[in-house]
Structure 1
Amino acid sequence: MIRFGIDFGGTKIEAAAIDESGAFVARVRKPNPGEYKAALEVVAELVADAEAMAGASCARLGLGIPGSISPRSGLIRNANSVYLNGQRFGEDLEQRLARPVRLTNDANCLALSEAADGAGAGEGVVFAAILGTGCGGGVVVDGKIIDGRNGFAGEWGHSPLPWPKPEEYPGPDCWCGRKGCLETWIAGPSFARDAGFPNGQATMEAIAAGDASAAAALDRYVDRLGRALAVVCDLIDPDVIVLGGGMSNVDVLYDRLQGAIAPNVFSDVFETPVRKAIHGDSSGVRGAAWLWPQEA
């Protein structure tokens, strides 16, 4: 059985097809057009391209988006691709494509992919955090996404930074209308802004060159991410924490985060591993494809 998935990112939209082993048989990308009707057409084009590349028909489509579906209205909410908000994106795609579409948050897709055959394989409770342009989280328990009663379980990026220091309060303005959300502190652009560099890569290059101010910004980032993850651990005590998104490529995080989380958890022991997503930026689209079980 060939599964098809879409990863709806802020700058690019990706379609892929995977076989029963989880290997790619098709993978195509196009820029996100930034407009609703045009985005529907881009998804349709990508599905057709992936079908041609895979030599198989897409009977059902899995879709990961920034944001979630309101169980009350059926409308998209909380998407930082704000033109999706208030739309019936899944239903509109079903009409455009004439096939079933299953939709969930992109961090849920990351968690599902890594729980299936990635950094969380074999673990019971997997918490996955996207640390990219934005910041989000997903929870998978025994191979199943936990959506929660109201459909927003894992929406960690718009919680406040825990135990803020005086200089951190009230925090930067967030696109959601509040101040000091985790997204304003631990997303990739937030790290670069704090360090005073154009992006995370430039910041890490400065650190490698011996820039003390950039190194201090990384210290602050590790401390803030440690505090943020400690709250997750207090709530669900995951078996593993998996990091995805651009900041997950900062390898020093995996040496330092356990030590940054441990002092903040309400426990005398903290042994939870923090791992890099094995499938990297492929996890989102792979997880979307896994939304349809084989027997569906």
Structure 2
Amino acid sequence: MPDYAHFDAATREPAQPTPALACDSQTHIFGAPDRFPTRPDAAYVVHDATVEAMLDMHKMLGIERGVIVQSTVYGTDHDALIEALHIAGPGYRGCGVVNDSVDDDHLARMHEAGVRGARFNFHPKLKNALPTPDEVRRTAERVVPLGWHLKLHMNGIDPWEVTPLLEDLEADVVIDHMGPLQYGLGLDDPHFRHITDLLRRGNWWVMLSNGDRRSVAGYPWDDATVYAREYIDRAPDRVLWATDWPHPLHAGPVPNDGDLMDLLSRYAPDPAVREQILVTNPHHLFCFEDGGIRGE
């Protein structure tokens, strides 16, 4: 297994105040190895990235809600995710990995635990674990009636290979990590234009995350800011934000999560817009049930 960089456990407070009920729309957790074995071909395992460590990070950032996304190291065994959701409480939702091997009873357990999304990971490092087009469609037919959203990780591939699989659905679809952008092309990037076209449909969303990792310019990641502001301007009601803690497969250096929250403040300098991204939008998409938000 490659030696990837470790997350920064000394989370610092963000420079700007975090609104109440703010949501981190993607984290991953790892369970105790003696109880939750990982796949032998796992590309990334960090056993100290526990749900408790994630909650400590969120407390420092002022985050009260979150979405825990199934790590690929567990395949379709969601026991670690289900336990983490139980520990985290009603302010947290899950996003699972569903294929034909997940039977209806397991799907019901996931839903009861708070899973409200299914993620399709097309990262090239997954090799033989990539979902097939038929699997994507069959999974969508099973989970969309439950009110789940669909999630696409497409970094490193051409998005046109994947997005047509879901374009005819009325379900909510989230594009991870700002999409598979080609930063060297700037806003003329055809991948970027494709994503903004999808955002016009009303049921497609984009997650502002990994801007630091995709940046060509490097810190303070100004080239990521250009894309993020365009997304916000074009579809402010369908933009999410996430740390992607503990930053899987990161070659380093891994940024402090307080720096990533400050990067969001540069994406969206207006506090009202940040509140929409951190509170209002995730409240509607992830179906949180533990209280409303201002204006409702």
| TM superposition score normalised by structure 1 | 0.31
Structure with the larger RCO, 1 or 2 (CA within 8 Å, 6+ apart): 2
Q: Which structure shows the bigger proportion of residues in strand conformation?
A: 1
Structure of higher CA gyration radius: 1
> TM-score scaled by structure 2?
0.31
